[in-house]
Amino acid sequence: MDRVLRPVHRWVWRDTGRRVRKLLAFAEVETDGGRDILRAAEVTPDPLLRRLYLAHAIDELHHGVLFRERGAELLRERGGRAGALFNGNPLPGGHGLDDVSIEDEADARLLAFLHVAEKAAAGRFTIYRDLVADDPPTHAIFEEILRDEVFHMNYTYTQLARISPRAYRRQVWLARASRVWKRLLRLAAAVVALMGSAFLTVLYFVVLPPFAWWARRAGRREPAGWAPISAQADAPPTSQY
């Protein structure tokens, strides 16, 4: 899918404004992911997983710092000029770690979720790294982060196979299916919002004009200024109407 969207990725990364926005958005996702994994380290009963989660969380928080600093640096170099059109983020971010809820997640499900998210991040960061070849500091950041993501992808799979030797494939499959399902829901919500806007625009330009025309015509027929009241209106003046 990401390969199909490559031209869109190229378009996003070409503009410095969009690049800055993307880096700052990644910084947020990585930091949030780091915090969630830190929480997972607190709640897991497994001592080995606790150590690995802790190392993982430190990596993600470090990625957040790297992205934030590079984004801020590019912003300063750019002199804080107003951004180009469509500064937003038409494609999802690197990790998708923000989808996870640690509190009621068993380790097997969490590891499966992390494995799928890290694999997606590794694939996407490979594309981004190639697209920012013109910008050596950003390229170096992606290179460094990519190495960590590959480690995260591998250790989550190995640990999942250790704690759930019978069902680890099924867990990964479920995590992948749930990720696709969430993406579909997001896409459906976006399409419905777009259709709503299109429908209201059509309504505004097609259905309302006849009424506006009719109201204007009726307005022209009304006499201007004071008008005599009709002869039947002989009710006593007890009301201002």
| Binding positions for Fe ion, rule: CB under 5 A | 30, 60, 63, 118, 149, 152
Q: Supply the minimum distance, in Å, between the C-beta of residue 30 and Fe ion.
A: 5
At 146, list the tokens.
């990519």
Task: Find all residues with CB under 8 Å of 67, minimum gap 6, and list them.
Answer: 23, 24, 26, 27, 30, 141
Half-sphere exposure of 197 (CA within 13 A, CB side): 5
Q: Supply the minimum distance, in Å, between the C-beta of residue 63 and Fe ion.
A: 4
Q: Supply the minimum distance, in Å, between the C-beta of residue 57 and Fe ion.
A: 10
Measure the CA–CA gap between 121 and 126, rounded to whole angstroms.
8
Cβ pair 29, 97 in contact under 8 A = yes
Task: Find all residues with CB under 8 Å of 21, minimum gap 6, and list them.
Answer: 83, 87, 88, 89
In Å, how far are 6, 10, 73, 77, 144 from 67, measured between CA atoms?
A: 21, 19, 10, 15, 11
- Between 40 and 235, CB nearer to Fe ion: 40
- Between 26 and 195, CB nearer to Fe ion: 26
Q: Supply the minimum distance, in Å, between the C-beta of residue 99 and Fe ion.
A: 14
- Between 50 and 83, CB nearer to Fe ion: 50
- Between 25 and 167, CB nearer to Fe ion: 25
- Between 69 and 87, CB nearer to Fe ion: 69
Measure the CA–CA gap between 146 and 123, rounded to whole angstroms.
9
Q: Supply the minimum distance, in Å, between the C-beta of residue 176 and Fe ion.
A: 17
